[in-house]
């Protein structure tokens, strides 16, 4: 049985951004030696997402724009108050809501040492509150 857990860092460069992390996930699988199993990818932050969609720049823009319509930064949020846990005001409720809608993880099967995914499926780390240095975890389980 192989279980390999790797924490990776990604630097977002804009306030909102979709970053293709598919090659990094494939690299972790290859390095794990796993032939048959499962890979799970999860963001470590509650104002970001880990989601899968077709890897096209137009879709990246559409997804971010649509989430911004659903969760506008100008909304009336209870989160806008002093948060002792951070030592500052929380005013990124919109980013948290987008994270909830986008989801925080994805899983793929591994077969013959490769990730089993559709040709157009791309794994994105999605930033809603950048620019920030972020972390996500890739865990490979199998044999």
Partner 1 sequence: MIDFHTHPVLVEEIVGDDEEMVRVTHDVFFIRNRLQPLETFHLELDVCGIGRAVIAPIDATAAKGVKIFSNEQIAQLCAMSNRFIGFASVDPHDPNAPRQLEDAVVRLSLRGLKLSPSMQEFAAGDRKLAYPVYEAASALKVPVLMHCGMTWAPRCKSTNPMALEEVAHDFPELKLVIAHFGWPWVHETAMLLLKYENLFADTSCLYFGAPWEFMRHVFGGQLPLTLVERSLRTKIVFGSDYPRVEIKNMVRAVRELGLSEGALEMIFSKNARYLLGEAEASYK
Chosen residue from 91, 121, 137, 141 binding partner 1 by CB under 8 A: 91
Residue 7 sits in the site that holds partner 1 (CB under 8 A):
no
3-state SS, 36-57, equals: CEEEEEEECCCCEEEEEEECCH
- The residues with which 114 forms a beta bridge, in sequence order, are 111
Closest approach, Cβ 6 to partner 1, in A, equals 19
| Nearest residue to 22 (alpha-carbon basis) of 48, 51, 44 | 51
| CB contact set of 26 (below 8 Å; sequence gap of 6+) | 114, 115
CA distance 29 to 110: 8
Q: Is 130 in the site for partner 1 (CB under 8 A)?
A: yes
Site pattern 8..47 for partner 1 (x: CB under 8 A): ---xxxxx--------------------------------
Q: Tell me which residue has tokens 């720049």.
A: 57
In the complex, minimum distance from the CB of residue 101 to partner 1, in angstroms, rounded to a whole number? 20
> Which lies closer to partner 1 via its Cβ, residue 58 or residue 133?
133
Is the Cβ of residue 12 or residue 32 nearer to partner 1 in the bound state?
12
Find the shortest distance in angstroms from Cβ 84 to partner 1: 8
78 contacts partner 1 (rule: CB under 8 A)? no
Is the separation of the CB atoms in 135 and 39 below 8 Å? no
Residues that bind partner 1 (CB under 8 A): 11-15, 73-74, 80-82, 85-89, 91, 130-133
């Amino acid at each position: 049985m192989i279980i390999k857990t790797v924490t990776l860092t990604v630097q977002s460069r804009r306030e909102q951004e979709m970053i293709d992390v598919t090659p990094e996930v494939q690299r972790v699988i290859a390095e794990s030696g796993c032939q048959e199993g499962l890979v799970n990818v999860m963001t470590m932050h509650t104002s970001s997402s880990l989601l899968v969609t077709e890897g096209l720049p137009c879709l990246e823009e559409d997804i971010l724009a649509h989430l911004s319509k659903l969760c506008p930064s100008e909304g009336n949020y209870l989160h806008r108050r002093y948060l002792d846990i951070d030592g500052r005001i929380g005013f990124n409720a919109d980013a948290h809501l987008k994270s909830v809608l986008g989801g925080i993880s994805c899983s793929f099967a591994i077969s013959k040492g490769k990730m089993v995914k559709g040709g157009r499926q791309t794994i994105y780390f999605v930033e809603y509150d950048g620019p920030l240095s972020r972390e996500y975890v890739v865990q490979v389980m199998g044999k």
